[in-house]
Chains A and B, each alone.
Chain A
Amino acid sequence: MDGAVDVSERAASRDPDEGLRAVAALRALAEQLEDLQVANARALGWSWQAIAERLGVTKQTVHRKHGKRLGRQ
């Protein structure tokens, strides 16, 4: 299989059930990746400001979302 996506599966995503589920799953994946990448950046000494710029949000937003989890220094 090797992760190759079957063509019929792609076509099937025109089905709202598959399409909407994929959207929800993408959102959850993006959240997981954000947690991971922000933690990694902090561990490497990045400032909240630098992280916020990459994510395209304000420093306050990043800090509010991740500050508690990662320690607010």
Chain B
Amino acid sequence: MTVQLADDARAVVLVAQDAARRLGHRWIGTEHLLFALAATEQPIGVLLRAAGVEPRPIWAGIVSLVAVGDRAVDWDALSAIGIDLDRVRAQVPGTPGAPTRKGRSASGALRRRTRRRRGHIPLNPTARRCVEDAGRSGAIGSRRLALAVVEAAGPAARTILFDLGVSGPIVAALIEGEAMG
């Protein structure tokens, strides 16, 4: 399925790809999209930051939840075969990203592990579905992409939002309200 990305959404996906590359990840997941949306100077970025969805803690959340480099876990991909992030975290204390553990220094972790990956990095299935869902009614702008990511959030983005203390549905309502007003 080919979807038409508007320029603003395309810019967001490129930033998400760059984030994935800097972290040494082989996929662009909902976590990278969430980071890119929160970091953008576009109106959607301003709205998200005002709602407490800040890029720095998202980045730290990705590092501690997903980890960096070759041992990074694509939680969205695991959810496709029924492995649930929340259950793993609940049953294995000290699991990367478990609530009890403080995130490691992002820069330190990057220095230790990152191997730069070049070229195109594909969207993982959950992120791709977000883009496709957003595209159902025509070209996708950043706002619609944000709505899809926040609403349909894969386990990675959902958990990061939860750890930020941010409610996905409330943010989604804010985005929708803004769109109408």
Contact = CB atoms under 8 A, between A and B. Distances in A.
Identify whether the interface residues of B are mostly helix, strand, loop, or mixed. loop
Interface stretch (B48-56, B84-92, B141-149): B84-92
B79 A33 contact: no
Contact of B26 (A9, A12, A18, A24): A24
Identify whether the interface residues of A are mostly helix, strand, loop, or mixed. helix
B86 A3 contact: yes
B92 A25 contact: no
Interface in B57-94: 67, 70-75, 77-88, 92, 94
A24 B74 contact: yes
Given A3-B85, A12-B125, A21-B125, A28 B74 contact: yes
A32 B71 contact: yes
B155 interface: yes
B35 interface: no
B80 A22 contact: yes
A43 to B, nearest CB: 11
A1 interface: yes
B53 to A, nearest CB: 19
A36 interface: yes
Interface residues of A, number: 25
Given A32-B73, A40-B94, A1 B158 contact: yes
Contacts of B74: 21, 24-25, 28
A47 interface: no
Given A12-B80, A28-B71, A29-B78, 6 more contacts: A3-B84, A10-B81, A18-B77, A22-B78, A29-B88, A31-B71
Interface of B: 26-27, 67, 70-75, 77-88, 92, 94-96, 124-125, 155, 158
13 contacts: A2-B86, A10-B81, A15-B125, A18-B77, A18-B80, A21-B77, A24-B74, A25-B73, A25-B75, A25-B77, A28-B70, A33-B92, A36-B95
